[in-house]
Amino acid sequence: MHTRRHLIAAGFASTLLAACTTTPVNQERPPIVFMHGNGDSAALWQTTIWRFESNGWPRDKLIAVDQPFPLARDDDTVVQPGRSSTAESMAFLKAEVDRALKTTGANKVILVGNSRGGNTIRNYVQNGGGDQVVSHVVLGGNPAHGIWAVKGRQERNEFSGLSPFMQQLNAPKNGNGDEVTPGVKWLTLRSDNNDKYAQPDGIWIGAKGTATNIGFDGPALKGATNVVLPRVDHRETSFSPAAFDATWRFLTGEAPRTLQPAPEAQVVLSGKVTGLGLDSRDPASGAFVNNLPLTGGRLVVFAVDTTTGARRGPPAWEQTIAQDGRWGPFTAQPNTSYEFVLGAPGYATTHIYRSPFPRSSSVIQLRPERIPEADRDARALVILTRPRGYFDAERDTMRFDGQAALPGVPPKGSGVSSSKVKLPSDAPRAVASEFNGERVTGQVWPAAQGDVSVLELTY
Protein backbone atom coordinates (compact mmCIF):
# COMPACT_ATOMS: atom_id res chain seq x y z
CA MET A 1 0.00 0.00 0.00
CA HIS A 2 0.91 3.68 -0.08
CA THR A 3 1.33 3.59 3.72
CA ARG A 4 5.10 3.33 3.37
CA ARG A 5 5.21 6.58 1.40
CA HIS A 6 3.27 8.30 4.19
CA LEU A 7 5.52 6.84 6.89
CA ILE A 8 8.61 8.22 5.19
CA ALA A 9 6.97 11.62 4.78
CA ALA A 10 5.94 11.77 8.41
CA GLY A 11 9.43 10.91 9.58
CA PHE A 12 10.82 14.14 8.15
CA ALA A 13 8.69 16.13 10.60
CA SER A 14 9.41 14.12 13.75
CA THR A 15 12.11 16.26 15.35
CA LEU A 16 10.34 19.53 14.60
CA LEU A 17 7.01 18.34 15.96
CA ALA A 18 8.45 16.84 19.14
CA ALA A 19 9.71 20.28 20.09
CA CYS A 20 6.22 21.80 19.88
CA THR A 21 4.32 19.68 22.35
CA THR A 22 2.51 21.09 25.38
CA THR A 23 0.38 18.00 26.08
CA PRO A 24 2.62 15.37 27.77
CA VAL A 25 1.53 11.81 27.20
CA ASN A 26 1.26 11.08 30.93
CA GLN A 27 -1.51 13.65 31.45
CA GLU A 28 -5.22 13.02 30.98
CA ARG A 29 -6.16 13.38 27.33
CA PRO A 30 -8.28 16.43 26.48
CA PRO A 31 -11.22 16.13 24.07
CA ILE A 32 -10.53 16.50 20.36
CA VAL A 33 -13.25 17.97 18.14
CA PHE A 34 -12.87 17.12 14.44
CA MET A 35 -14.33 19.58 11.92
CA HIS A 36 -14.86 18.32 8.37
CA GLY A 37 -14.54 20.27 5.14
CA ASN A 38 -16.72 21.67 2.38
CA GLY A 39 -19.50 19.23 1.46
CA ASP A 40 -18.09 16.56 3.76
CA SER A 41 -19.26 14.86 6.96
CA ALA A 42 -18.07 13.45 10.27
CA ALA A 43 -17.68 10.06 8.57
CA LEU A 44 -14.39 11.09 6.99
CA TRP A 45 -12.72 11.06 10.42
CA GLN A 46 -13.47 7.36 10.93
CA THR A 47 -9.94 6.07 10.29
CA THR A 48 -8.34 9.01 12.14
CA ILE A 49 -10.47 8.23 15.21
CA TRP A 50 -9.48 4.57 14.93
CA ARG A 51 -5.80 5.54 14.94
CA PHE A 52 -6.21 7.78 17.98
CA GLU A 53 -8.07 5.01 19.83
CA SER A 54 -5.44 2.45 18.86
CA ASN A 55 -2.79 4.66 20.46
CA GLY A 56 -4.70 5.05 23.72
CA TRP A 57 -6.77 8.23 23.30
CA PRO A 58 -10.15 7.61 25.01
CA ARG A 59 -13.02 6.99 22.61
CA ASP A 60 -15.33 9.38 24.46
CA LYS A 61 -12.82 12.21 23.97
CA LEU A 62 -12.85 11.90 20.14
CA ILE A 63 -15.76 13.93 18.78
CA ALA A 64 -16.42 14.23 15.04
CA VAL A 65 -19.16 16.75 14.24
CA ASP A 66 -21.63 16.96 11.35
CA GLN A 67 -22.45 20.44 10.06
CA PRO A 68 -26.05 20.28 8.70
CA PHE A 69 -25.24 22.37 5.60
CA PRO A 70 -21.54 21.75 4.91
CA LEU A 71 -21.27 23.63 1.61
CA ALA A 72 -20.09 27.25 1.59
CA ARG A 73 -22.13 29.97 -0.06
CA ASP A 74 -21.06 31.28 -3.46
CA ASP A 75 -21.17 34.77 -1.90
CA ASP A 76 -20.64 34.71 1.84
CA THR A 77 -22.86 37.78 2.29
CA VAL A 78 -25.89 36.44 0.39
CA VAL A 79 -28.32 33.86 1.80
CA GLN A 80 -28.26 30.70 -0.33
CA PRO A 81 -30.59 27.77 0.40
CA GLY A 82 -28.78 24.61 1.45
CA ARG A 83 -25.51 26.41 2.11
CA SER A 84 -23.84 27.96 5.16
CA SER A 85 -22.03 31.23 5.74
CA THR A 86 -18.75 31.63 7.59
CA ALA A 87 -20.70 33.09 10.54
CA GLU A 88 -23.12 30.15 10.61
CA SER A 89 -20.26 27.68 10.39
CA MET A 90 -18.47 29.38 13.28
CA ALA A 91 -21.63 29.40 15.42
CA PHE A 92 -22.09 25.69 14.75
CA LEU A 93 -18.54 24.87 15.84
CA LYS A 94 -18.79 27.04 18.96
CA ALA A 95 -21.92 25.17 20.04
CA GLU A 96 -20.20 21.81 19.47
CA VAL A 97 -17.13 22.86 21.44
CA ASP A 98 -19.29 24.11 24.31
CA ARG A 99 -21.11 20.77 24.29
CA ALA A 100 -17.83 18.82 24.29
CA LEU A 101 -16.46 20.82 27.21
CA LYS A 102 -19.65 20.33 29.21
CA THR A 103 -19.91 16.63 28.44
CA THR A 104 -16.30 15.80 29.25
CA GLY A 105 -15.75 18.28 32.07
CA ALA A 106 -12.57 19.53 30.39
CA ASN A 107 -11.53 23.19 30.35
CA LYS A 108 -9.60 22.99 27.09
CA VAL A 109 -10.21 21.29 23.75
CA ILE A 110 -8.09 20.41 20.73
CA LEU A 111 -9.48 21.28 17.29
CA VAL A 112 -8.56 19.32 14.14
CA GLY A 113 -9.95 20.46 10.80
CA ASN A 114 -9.75 19.59 7.14
CA SER A 115 -10.08 22.06 4.26
CA ARG A 116 -12.99 24.44 4.89
CA GLY A 117 -13.11 23.14 8.45
CA GLY A 118 -9.84 25.00 8.95
CA ASN A 119 -11.51 28.27 7.94
CA THR A 120 -14.21 27.63 10.52
CA ILE A 121 -11.68 26.80 13.23
CA ARG A 122 -9.56 29.87 12.53
CA ASN A 123 -12.65 32.10 12.56
CA TYR A 124 -13.84 30.61 15.86
CA VAL A 125 -10.46 30.92 17.58
CA GLN A 126 -9.88 34.45 16.30
CA ASN A 127 -13.38 35.93 16.44
CA GLY A 128 -15.63 33.59 18.46
CA GLY A 129 -13.83 33.27 21.78
CA GLY A 130 -12.14 30.00 20.93
CA ASP A 131 -8.75 31.31 22.04
CA GLN A 132 -9.98 30.97 25.63
CA VAL A 133 -10.82 27.26 25.42
CA VAL A 134 -8.61 25.84 22.64
CA SER A 135 -5.10 24.58 23.39
CA HIS A 136 -4.03 23.17 20.00
CA VAL A 137 -5.21 23.45 16.41
CA VAL A 138 -4.28 21.12 13.55
CA LEU A 139 -5.25 22.20 10.03
CA GLY A 140 -4.98 19.76 7.11
CA GLY A 141 -5.18 21.14 3.58
CA ASN A 142 -6.77 24.35 4.81
CA PRO A 143 -6.93 26.94 1.98
CA ALA A 144 -5.49 29.45 4.44
CA HIS A 145 -4.84 32.06 1.77
CA GLY A 146 -7.69 31.08 -0.49
CA ILE A 147 -8.00 28.74 -3.43
CA TRP A 148 -7.73 31.69 -5.79
CA ALA A 149 -6.88 35.37 -5.37
CA VAL A 150 -8.04 36.78 -8.69
CA LYS A 151 -9.58 40.23 -8.94
CA GLY A 152 -13.14 39.99 -10.23
CA ARG A 153 -13.50 36.28 -9.49
CA GLN A 154 -16.04 35.72 -6.70
CA GLU A 155 -14.24 38.08 -4.34
CA ARG A 156 -16.85 37.65 -1.60
CA ASN A 157 -16.61 33.85 -1.63
CA GLU A 158 -14.88 32.57 1.50
CA PHE A 159 -12.35 30.68 -0.65
CA SER A 160 -11.13 33.85 -2.36
CA GLY A 161 -7.86 35.11 -0.97
CA LEU A 162 -9.18 38.61 -1.65
CA SER A 163 -12.39 38.17 0.34
CA PRO A 164 -12.92 40.35 3.43
CA PHE A 165 -13.25 37.11 5.42
CA MET A 166 -9.85 35.79 4.34
CA GLN A 167 -8.17 39.19 4.60
CA GLN A 168 -9.18 39.63 8.24
CA LEU A 169 -8.18 36.06 9.12
CA ASN A 170 -4.70 36.63 7.71
CA ALA A 171 -4.14 40.13 9.11
CA PRO A 172 -0.92 40.26 11.20
CA LYS A 173 -1.53 39.47 14.87
CA ASN A 174 1.72 40.89 16.27
CA GLY A 175 4.94 42.64 15.35
CA ASN A 176 6.28 39.45 13.78
CA GLY A 177 3.42 39.41 11.29
CA ASP A 178 2.03 36.11 12.59
CA GLU A 179 -1.20 35.03 10.91
CA VAL A 180 -2.35 32.76 13.75
CA THR A 181 -4.09 33.80 16.96
CA PRO A 182 -1.60 33.84 19.87
CA GLY A 183 -2.04 31.65 22.93
CA VAL A 184 -2.88 28.55 20.87
CA LYS A 185 -0.43 26.00 19.41
CA TRP A 186 -0.91 25.71 15.63
CA LEU A 187 0.08 22.99 13.16
CA THR A 188 -0.59 23.08 9.41
CA LEU A 189 -0.22 20.02 7.19
CA ARG A 190 0.06 20.42 3.44
CA SER A 191 1.14 18.59 0.32
CA ASP A 192 4.32 19.51 -1.51
CA ASN A 193 2.50 20.05 -4.82
CA ASN A 194 -0.39 17.55 -5.03
CA ASP A 195 -3.26 19.41 -3.31
CA LYS A 196 -5.90 20.32 -5.91
CA TYR A 197 -6.81 23.45 -3.94
CA ALA A 198 -3.27 24.77 -3.58
CA GLN A 199 -2.28 25.06 -7.22
CA PRO A 200 -0.74 27.99 -9.15
CA ASP A 201 -2.86 27.02 -12.17
CA GLY A 202 -6.67 27.10 -12.06
CA ILE A 203 -7.17 23.65 -13.60
CA TRP A 204 -9.18 22.31 -10.63
CA ILE A 205 -11.39 25.39 -10.33
CA GLY A 206 -12.45 25.37 -13.97
CA ALA A 207 -9.86 27.89 -15.16
CA LYS A 208 -7.07 25.87 -16.72
CA GLY A 209 -4.19 28.06 -17.88
CA THR A 210 -5.17 30.93 -15.60
CA ALA A 211 -3.02 31.88 -12.63
CA THR A 212 -4.72 31.51 -9.24
CA ASN A 213 -2.08 33.65 -7.48
CA ILE A 214 -1.94 30.89 -4.85
CA GLY A 215 1.15 28.75 -4.41
CA PHE A 216 1.66 25.18 -3.28
CA ASP A 217 2.39 26.64 0.16
CA GLY A 218 -1.02 28.32 0.39
CA PRO A 219 -2.08 26.25 3.45
CA ALA A 220 0.97 27.31 5.49
CA LEU A 221 0.54 30.05 8.11
CA LYS A 222 3.14 32.37 9.57
CA GLY A 223 3.46 31.66 13.28
CA ALA A 224 2.38 28.01 12.98
CA THR A 225 4.42 24.83 12.78
CA ASN A 226 4.15 24.09 9.05
CA VAL A 227 4.80 20.53 7.86
CA VAL A 228 4.95 19.26 4.28
CA LEU A 229 3.78 15.71 3.52
CA PRO A 230 5.15 14.67 0.10
CA ARG A 231 2.64 13.62 -2.58
CA VAL A 232 -0.43 13.52 -0.34
CA ASP A 233 -3.59 14.84 -1.92
CA HIS A 234 -6.04 17.40 -0.53
CA ARG A 235 -7.93 15.01 1.76
CA GLU A 236 -4.89 12.95 2.70
CA THR A 237 -3.49 16.07 4.41
CA SER A 238 -5.91 15.08 7.20
CA PHE A 239 -6.97 11.47 6.75
CA SER A 240 -3.74 9.63 5.82
CA PRO A 241 -1.38 7.71 8.14
CA ALA A 242 1.21 10.45 7.55
CA ALA A 243 -1.21 13.13 8.71
CA PHE A 244 -2.03 11.16 11.84
CA ASP A 245 1.65 10.59 12.58
CA ALA A 246 2.41 14.31 12.32
CA THR A 247 -0.66 15.22 14.40
CA TRP A 248 0.14 12.73 17.17
CA ARG A 249 3.74 13.92 17.44
CA PHE A 250 2.59 17.55 17.59
CA LEU A 251 0.10 16.82 20.37
CA THR A 252 2.21 14.44 22.47
CA GLY A 253 5.88 14.88 21.54
CA GLU A 254 6.20 11.16 20.93
CA ALA A 255 5.87 8.80 18.00
CA PRO A 256 2.60 6.84 17.85
CA ARG A 257 2.78 3.14 18.67
CA THR A 258 0.95 2.30 15.47
CA LEU A 259 -0.36 4.02 12.36
CA GLN A 260 -2.90 1.30 11.65
CA PRO A 261 -6.21 0.63 13.45
CA ALA A 262 -5.76 -2.09 16.07
CA PRO A 263 -8.43 -4.81 15.69
CA GLU A 264 -11.13 -5.12 18.35
CA ALA A 265 -12.72 -8.38 19.44
CA GLN A 266 -16.21 -6.87 19.30
CA VAL A 267 -17.16 -4.44 16.53
CA VAL A 268 -20.28 -2.30 16.95
CA LEU A 269 -21.31 -0.08 14.04
CA SER A 270 -23.71 2.85 13.88
CA GLY A 271 -24.09 6.19 12.16
CA LYS A 272 -26.49 8.35 10.22
CA VAL A 273 -28.47 8.11 6.99
CA THR A 274 -28.42 11.36 5.02
CA GLY A 275 -29.78 12.45 1.66
CA LEU A 276 -29.31 14.93 -1.14
CA GLY A 277 -30.88 18.37 -1.21
CA LEU A 278 -31.91 20.26 -4.32
CA ASP A 279 -29.58 22.71 -6.00
CA SER A 280 -31.45 26.02 -6.05
CA ARG A 281 -29.99 26.77 -9.46
CA ASP A 282 -31.05 23.44 -10.91
CA PRO A 283 -33.90 21.80 -8.96
CA ALA A 284 -33.71 18.67 -11.12
CA SER A 285 -30.08 17.95 -10.30
CA GLY A 286 -30.35 16.93 -6.65
CA ALA A 287 -26.76 18.11 -6.46
CA PHE A 288 -26.66 19.57 -2.96
CA VAL A 289 -25.19 17.32 -0.31
CA ASN A 290 -26.17 17.90 3.28
CA ASN A 291 -25.91 16.16 6.61
CA LEU A 292 -29.59 16.32 7.48
CA PRO A 293 -31.20 13.03 8.55
CA LEU A 294 -33.03 11.12 5.82
CA THR A 295 -36.05 9.55 7.46
CA GLY A 296 -38.34 6.73 6.40
CA GLY A 297 -35.70 4.78 4.54
CA ARG A 298 -35.06 1.08 5.01
CA LEU A 299 -31.63 -0.38 5.76
CA VAL A 300 -30.79 -4.06 5.35
CA VAL A 301 -27.28 -5.37 6.03
CA PHE A 302 -25.88 -8.62 4.63
CA ALA A 303 -22.60 -10.38 5.33
CA VAL A 304 -20.96 -11.05 1.96
CA ASP A 305 -18.13 -13.09 0.54
CA THR A 306 -15.07 -10.83 0.48
CA THR A 307 -13.88 -12.05 -2.91
CA THR A 308 -17.21 -12.09 -4.78
CA GLY A 309 -19.58 -9.78 -2.90
CA ALA A 310 -22.21 -12.57 -2.86
CA ARG A 311 -24.48 -12.70 0.17
CA ARG A 312 -23.65 -15.34 2.77
CA GLY A 313 -27.12 -15.78 4.19
CA PRO A 314 -30.16 -13.91 5.48
CA PRO A 315 -29.92 -10.27 6.64
CA ALA A 316 -27.61 -9.63 9.57
CA TRP A 317 -29.47 -6.41 10.40
CA GLU A 318 -32.70 -4.68 9.32
CA GLN A 319 -34.02 -1.30 10.34
CA THR A 320 -36.44 1.43 9.32
CA ILE A 321 -34.75 4.81 9.70
CA ALA A 322 -36.47 7.04 12.27
CA GLN A 323 -36.70 10.83 12.55
CA ASP A 324 -33.16 11.34 13.81
CA GLY A 325 -31.69 9.49 10.82
CA ARG A 326 -29.61 7.26 13.07
CA TRP A 327 -29.00 3.61 12.28
CA GLY A 328 -27.59 0.82 14.45
CA PRO A 329 -26.06 -0.18 16.75
CA PHE A 330 -25.24 -3.28 14.73
CA THR A 331 -22.78 -5.83 16.14
CA ALA A 332 -20.63 -6.87 13.21
CA GLN A 333 -18.39 -9.89 12.88
CA PRO A 334 -14.64 -9.18 12.71
CA ASN A 335 -12.96 -9.85 9.36
CA THR A 336 -16.35 -9.86 7.60
CA SER A 337 -17.31 -7.77 4.58
CA TYR A 338 -20.79 -6.26 4.47
CA GLU A 339 -23.32 -5.01 1.95
CA PHE A 340 -25.50 -2.14 3.20
CA VAL A 341 -28.73 -1.96 1.17
CA LEU A 342 -30.42 1.40 1.54
CA GLY A 343 -33.79 2.23 0.04
CA ALA A 344 -35.69 5.52 0.37
CA PRO A 345 -38.45 7.28 -1.61
CA GLY A 346 -37.00 9.32 -4.46
CA TYR A 347 -33.69 7.46 -4.47
CA ALA A 348 -32.16 4.43 -6.12
CA THR A 349 -31.89 1.30 -4.02
CA THR A 350 -28.21 1.65 -3.16
CA HIS A 351 -26.02 -1.39 -2.43
CA ILE A 352 -22.94 -0.18 -0.53
CA TYR A 353 -20.05 -2.63 -0.20
CA ARG A 354 -17.33 -2.04 2.41
CA SER A 355 -14.12 -3.68 3.60
CA PRO A 356 -14.25 -5.48 6.95
CA PHE A 357 -14.36 -3.11 9.92
CA PRO A 358 -11.43 -3.69 12.31
CA ARG A 359 -12.95 -1.48 15.02
CA SER A 360 -16.25 -0.07 16.19
CA SER A 361 -17.46 3.23 14.75
CA SER A 362 -20.42 5.53 15.39
CA VAL A 363 -19.77 7.85 12.42
CA ILE A 364 -20.63 5.60 9.47
CA GLN A 365 -22.67 7.74 7.10
CA LEU A 366 -24.92 6.03 4.56
CA ARG A 367 -26.35 8.06 1.67
CA PRO A 368 -28.49 6.63 -1.15
CA GLU A 369 -27.74 7.54 -4.76
CA ARG A 370 -29.90 8.97 -7.52
CA ILE A 371 -29.48 7.77 -11.12
CA PRO A 372 -28.69 10.80 -13.33
CA GLU A 373 -30.50 11.19 -16.63
CA ALA A 374 -27.19 10.77 -18.46
CA ASP A 375 -26.87 7.25 -17.03
CA ARG A 376 -30.39 6.02 -17.75
CA ASP A 377 -29.10 4.10 -20.77
CA ALA A 378 -26.94 1.84 -18.59
CA ARG A 379 -28.16 -1.63 -17.73
CA ALA A 380 -26.19 -1.44 -14.49
CA LEU A 381 -24.19 1.23 -12.64
CA VAL A 382 -21.26 0.61 -10.31
CA ILE A 383 -19.51 3.46 -8.48
CA LEU A 384 -16.09 3.24 -6.85
CA THR A 385 -15.55 5.96 -4.27
CA ARG A 386 -12.71 6.97 -1.96
CA PRO A 387 -14.09 9.43 0.60
CA ARG A 388 -10.79 10.03 2.46
CA GLY A 389 -8.63 10.76 -0.55
CA TYR A 390 -8.39 11.04 -4.32
CA PHE A 391 -7.30 8.79 -7.14
CA ASP A 392 -3.90 9.58 -8.67
CA ALA A 393 -3.02 7.62 -11.81
CA GLU A 394 0.67 8.54 -11.55
CA ARG A 395 0.95 7.62 -7.87
CA ASP A 396 -1.50 4.86 -7.00
CA THR A 397 -1.98 1.21 -7.92
CA MET A 398 -5.63 0.87 -8.93
CA ARG A 399 -8.03 -1.46 -10.72
CA PHE A 400 -11.78 -1.22 -11.23
CA ASP A 401 -13.69 -4.00 -12.99
CA GLY A 402 -10.47 -5.16 -14.64
CA GLN A 403 -9.38 -1.70 -15.80
CA ALA A 404 -6.16 -0.07 -14.60
CA ALA A 405 -7.30 3.26 -16.04
CA LEU A 406 -10.31 4.24 -13.94
CA PRO A 407 -13.16 5.90 -15.88
CA GLY A 408 -13.30 9.63 -15.19
CA VAL A 409 -9.90 9.74 -13.49
CA PRO A 410 -7.42 11.95 -15.38
CA PRO A 411 -3.97 10.56 -16.26
CA LYS A 412 -2.31 13.35 -14.26
CA GLY A 413 -3.32 15.06 -11.03
CA SER A 414 -5.03 14.10 -7.79
CA GLY A 415 -8.49 15.63 -7.86
CA VAL A 416 -11.14 12.96 -8.45
CA SER A 417 -12.47 10.74 -5.65
CA SER A 418 -14.97 8.57 -7.52
CA SER A 419 -15.18 6.53 -10.70
CA LYS A 420 -18.21 4.99 -12.40
CA VAL A 421 -18.70 2.15 -14.84
CA LYS A 422 -21.86 1.88 -16.96
CA LEU A 423 -22.39 -1.76 -17.79
CA PRO A 424 -24.19 -3.02 -20.94
CA SER A 425 -25.57 -6.02 -19.04
CA ASP A 426 -27.28 -6.38 -15.68
CA ALA A 427 -26.54 -10.09 -15.41
CA PRO A 428 -25.49 -10.88 -11.82
CA ARG A 429 -21.73 -10.98 -11.42
CA ALA A 430 -18.93 -9.72 -9.23
CA VAL A 431 -17.30 -6.31 -9.78
CA ALA A 432 -13.92 -5.99 -8.11
CA SER A 433 -11.86 -2.95 -7.17
CA GLU A 434 -8.42 -2.44 -5.73
CA PHE A 435 -6.69 0.68 -4.45
CA ASN A 436 -3.14 0.42 -3.06
CA GLY A 437 -3.84 -2.98 -1.55
CA GLU A 438 -7.39 -2.45 -0.29
CA ARG A 439 -9.86 -4.63 -2.17
CA VAL A 440 -13.63 -4.18 -2.26
CA THR A 441 -15.89 -6.39 -4.37
CA GLY A 442 -19.61 -6.05 -4.95
CA GLN A 443 -22.36 -7.45 -7.13
CA VAL A 444 -24.11 -6.04 -10.21
CA TRP A 445 -27.74 -4.94 -9.76
CA PRO A 446 -30.17 -3.88 -12.53
CA ALA A 447 -30.47 -0.12 -13.03
CA ALA A 448 -33.84 -0.61 -14.75
CA GLN A 449 -35.21 -1.69 -11.37
CA GLY A 450 -33.68 1.38 -9.73
CA ASP A 451 -30.59 -0.22 -8.21
CA VAL A 452 -27.02 1.11 -7.97
CA SER A 453 -23.87 -0.54 -6.60
CA VAL A 454 -21.29 1.46 -4.62
CA LEU A 455 -17.86 0.12 -3.71
CA GLU A 456 -16.64 2.35 -0.88
CA LEU A 457 -12.97 2.32 0.07
CA THR A 458 -12.08 2.84 3.71
CA TYR A 459 -8.44 3.92 3.45
pLDDT tens across 191-210, in order? Answer: 999 999 999 999 999 999 99
| pLDDT above 90 (res 283) | no
pLDDT at 276: 85
| pLDDT above 90 (res 219) | yes
Q: pTM to 2 decimals?
A: 0.93
CATH 3.40.605.10 corresponds to the domain 267-456: no
pLDDT at 331: 98
CATH 3.40.50.261 corresponds to the domain 3-252: no
pLDDT at 278: 60
Q: Which 3 state secondary structure label does DSSP give 430?
A: strand
With beta carbons less than 8 A apart as the criterion, state whether 62 and 34 touch: yes
| pLDDT above 50 (res 284) | no
Phi, psi angles (nearest 5°) of residue 117:
-55, -30
**Residue 260 to residue 52: CA distance in whole angstroms:** 10
Split at pLDDT 50, 70, 90, the class of 263 is very high
Q: What is the pLDDT of residues 10-45, one digit of tens each?
A: 444 444 454 444 444 445 899 999 999 999 999 999
pLDDT at 288: 76
| pLDDT above 80 (res 119) | yes
**Residue 155 to residue 361: CA distance in whole angstroms:** 40
| pLDDT above 60 (res 399) | yes
Domain extents in the chain: 3-252, 267-456
In this prediction, residues 314-322 reach a mean pLDDT of 97
Phi, psi angles (nearest 5°) of residue 191:
-80, 160
| pLDDT above 70 (res 1) | no
> Which among 227, 149, 144 has a CA at the least distance from the CA of 179?
144
Q: Which 3 state secondary structure label does DSSP give 91?
A: helix
pLDDT at 227: 98
**Residue 391 to residue 386: CA distance in whole angstroms:** 8
**Residue 378 to residue 393: CA distance in whole angstroms:** 26
Split at pLDDT 50, 70, 90, the class of 287 is low
pLDDT at 17: 52
Q: What is the pLDDT of residues 142-154, one digit of tens each?
A: 999 999 999 999 9
Burial class, 224, CB count within 10 angstroms (exposed 0-12 / middle 13-18 / buried 19+): buried
Q: What's the angle, vertex CA 7, arms to CA 4 and CA 12, rounded to 5?
A: 135
Q: Which 3 state secondary structure label does DSSP give 189?
A: strand
| pLDDT above 60 (res 352) | yes
pLDDT at 7: 37
**Residue 255 to residue 245: CA distance in whole angstroms:** 7
pLDDT at 277: 73
